[in-house]
Amino acid sequence: MTPGSAIVTGAGTGIGRAVAIRLLDDGWGVTLASRHRETLLAAAGTAARGIRPNALVVEADVTDPSSVEQLFAAHAARFGRLDLLVNNAGTFGPTADVGELGPDEWQETLAVNVTGSVLCAGAAFRQMRDQRPQGGRIVNNASISAQSPRPRSVAYTTTKHAITGLSRSIELDGRAYAITCTQLDIGNVRTGLLDGLNGAGALQADGSVRVEPTMDAGPLADLVAHLAALPLGVSVPHLTVTAAGMPFIGRG
């Protein structure tokens, strides 16, 4: 598939930033979205040259339906069509078990990780369905917590399990419109969410604390770029990618 146009949410930092930069390098038209314009501008260009000509920066709150609609409208006005959505915005939420989880903390985590992903996927689905030629690819960042929880991560784990249902529904409902969906279950990337793993260590299921292996975001960006380059006749519903040696297979 030749480079088209993409929206990447949570594009100012971490995995989203790496993916957006890789797609820009590959010649894609990319709309970079998050709530923080400064980090988006840094990801979208260079100090010497400013924003790249194939980049669009849009401040957006994925939990707000009107903000999401404005994001997709801005992308369509600039690039005309949408070939790829990288649904990456997310939050780890509180460290708590279900008995300790407060209702406000739960609602905040649910709003970003589930409502935000559904709103963005819905807007992408409609645009991909209605454009000509039809079709596109949606990539949902689910985390390996969609398969197995960490201790005291009930809010994050529950919301990431919900992404599995979203991804499978998109893949099924999108068949008639040449829309495919890939769920990426990612483990231990060196981003702000994992600062503790590089310092004091992470709580394990047996109650111990250990520093776990981590990986750079670059190979994940390469993987998303590879998925984006596949023809729409090829579907990759689910991929699991972790730092080698992390305690995931055999957790507990």
List the structure tokens of 124. Answer: 């992408």
Give the span between the Cα atoms of 165 and 176, in whole angstroms: 19
Give the span between the Cα atoms of 35 and 89, in whole angstroms: 10
pLDDT in tens, 124-137: 999 999 999 999 99
Exposure string (b/e) for 63-91, b if CB count within 10 Å is 16 or more? bbeebbebbbebbbeebebbbbbbbbbbb
Rounded to whole angstroms, what are the CA distances from 79 to 6, 73, 117? 9, 10, 22
Amino acid at 14: G
Rounded to whole angstroms, what are the CA distances from 57 to 70, 170, 178, 221? 12, 26, 27, 19
Give the span between the Cα atoms of 138 and 86, in whole angstroms: 6
pLDDT range class, residue 181, cuts 50, 70, 90: very high
Using CB atoms within 10 Å of the CB of residue 131, give its burial: 0 to 12 exposed, 13 to 18 middle, 19+ buried: middle
Give the span between the Cα atoms of 11 and 35, in whole angstroms: 10
Give the span between the Cα atoms of 85 and 119, in whole angstroms: 12
pLDDT average, residue stretch 157-186: 97
**What is the average pLDDT score of the chain?**
92
Structure confidence at residue 72 (pLDDT): 98
Give the span between the Cα atoms of 68 and 87, in whole angstroms: 12
Residue 57 backbone zone (phi > 0: left; psi -120 to 50: alpha; other: beta): beta
Structure confidence at residue 199 (pLDDT): 60
Q: Is the pLDDT of residue 184 over 60?
A: yes
Q: Is the pLDDT of residue 251 over 70?
A: no
pLDDT range class, residue 29, cuts 50, 70, 90: very high
CB 225 within 8 A of CB 26: yes
156 is catalytic: yes
pLDDT range class, residue 207, cuts 50, 70, 90: confident
List the structure tokens of 5. Answer: 């146009």
Q: Specify the pTM.
A: 0.92
Q: Is the pLDDT of residue 32 over 90?
A: yes
pLDDT average, residue stretch 174-203: 81
CB 111 within 8 A of CB 35: no
- Domains, the chain, ordered by start: 5-242 (3.40.50.720)
- Given the residues 156, 159, 167, 247, the one annotated as active site: 156
